[in-house]
A and B are shown apart, each in its own frame.
Chain A
Amino acid sequence: MLFFSFFKTLIDEQVIVELKNDMSIRGTLKSVDQFLNIKLDDVSVVDEVKYPHLSAVKNVFIRGSVVRYVHLPGAVVDTALLEDATRKEAASQASKAGGR
């Protein structure tokens, strides 16, 4: 659940979601769930000429399974904190596995 928690810290930030069909959508991250489905507000498509059908759309729900990348603003990611969280998660996974 680490990435789920991580994405929750990014809510209300501007992100660009690149899909597996090469479409990129810019918008404000509004919510994320455990499948990493993403909801964006105030969306705009990066290549508007190629994907004109989204010009009348204000918010989108993107299914987690079709996402290739999420581009994040570098400034909002606390890498030290993320590293710590990763170690903690790995440690808790290891202790769970050892307990079995």
Chain B
Amino acid sequence: MENTDPALLPSIIFTTAAQLVDCVDKKLLVVLRDGRKLIGILRSFDQYANLVLQDTVERIIVQSMYSDIQRGVYIVRGENVVLVGEIEPEKEESIPLKEVSLDEIYAARQDEIDHRRQRELTKNSKLMDIGFSIDTQQDDMY
């Protein structure tokens, strides 16, 4: 890991750079802590995994449907990054998802949120009945 060549970056930067440097100029899937999925071309990054993405689309996935929203250039602050995946172009066409319109995906997502909330309410009231106290604070898990 030690490099003696002064032309190279200091080794402490070098280790992180070694990880993302081969992803530059490739089409990547970036998953953020809030669950968003961004697909774009990686143009730059640093040791915090701050990222610059070009021609980004945000992909909303609900069950087996998806829809893309054009977003443009993104600078993502590293702390929000969960993972960065390199997309295989050959496999990209065969993803087991069906593209639908934005309106459809928003409706499906709202349905899912409502459904989950309803289930949560039922669960909480059941738990309350048998004497548990409920912490209703939603956590983002990170």
Contact = CB atoms under 8 A, between A and B. Distances in A.
A33 B16 contact: yes
A19 to B, nearest CB: 7
Contact of B19 (A37, A52, A54): A37
Contacts of A59: 85-86
Contacts of B97: 52-53
A65 B49 CA distance: 11
Contact of B33 (A37, A52, A56, A66): A66
Main SS class of interface, B: mixed
B12 interface: yes
Contacts of B78: 63
B52 interface: no
A53 B29 contact: yes
B113 interface: no
A63 B92 contact: no
Interface in B13-40: 15-16, 18-20, 23, 29, 31, 33, 35, 37
Nearest to B59: A53
Contacts of A33: 15-16, 18-19
Contacts of B49: 37, 61, 63
Contact of A56 (B31, B88, B142): B88
Interface residues on chain B, size class: 35 or more
A66 B95 contact: no
A5 to B, nearest CB: 10
A20 B86 contact: no
Interface in A44-83: 52-63, 65-66
Contacts of B108: none
Given A56-B91, A66-B33, 14 more contacts: A21-B35, A22-B141, A34-B15, A34-B16, A52-B61, A52-B97, A53-B59, A53-B95, A56-B87, A56-B92, A61-B23, A63-B78, A63-B82, A66-B83
Interface of A: 19-22, 25, 31, 33-35, 37, 39, 43, 52-63, 65-66
